[in-house]
Structure 1
Amino acid sequence: MNKDFRDKGLVYAVLSHSLRVADTRILTVWVDERNVKSQKLLENLGFEGL
């Protein structure tokens, strides 16, 4: 995401909405272990095993 729009909750909002409307039961996500912000975001969205 463009730096001007980071830390405003937009990624959370978009992903949260997408996950609610998607007909997906299993979704695999890879995130760099050094990217703590992305890990926290995914945990808040209900992802496990990060």
Structure 2
Amino acid sequence: MLLRSRQPLIHCRNKRQCWESRRRRDIDSRRREAAAKSAGAADFYDDEGS
């Protein structure tokens, strides 16, 4: 199935919980990235390609 291969995270019954956890992870990674950039480690994220 195309949908399952494209979005493997949406397999649990409570889809809202899935989206909440994914959004929280997004916000956490963004906050971490901003903190690292303010600390002068922008090159680190560029190398990772994120």
Q: Which has the higher helix share?
A: 2
Computing the radius of gyration over CA atoms, which structure comes out larger, 1 or 2? Answer: 2
Task: Please confirm whether the aligned pair reaches a TM-score higher than 0.5, indicating the same fold.
Answer: no
Q: TM-score, normalised by structure 2?
A: 0.34
Q: TM-score, normalised by structure 1?
A: 0.34
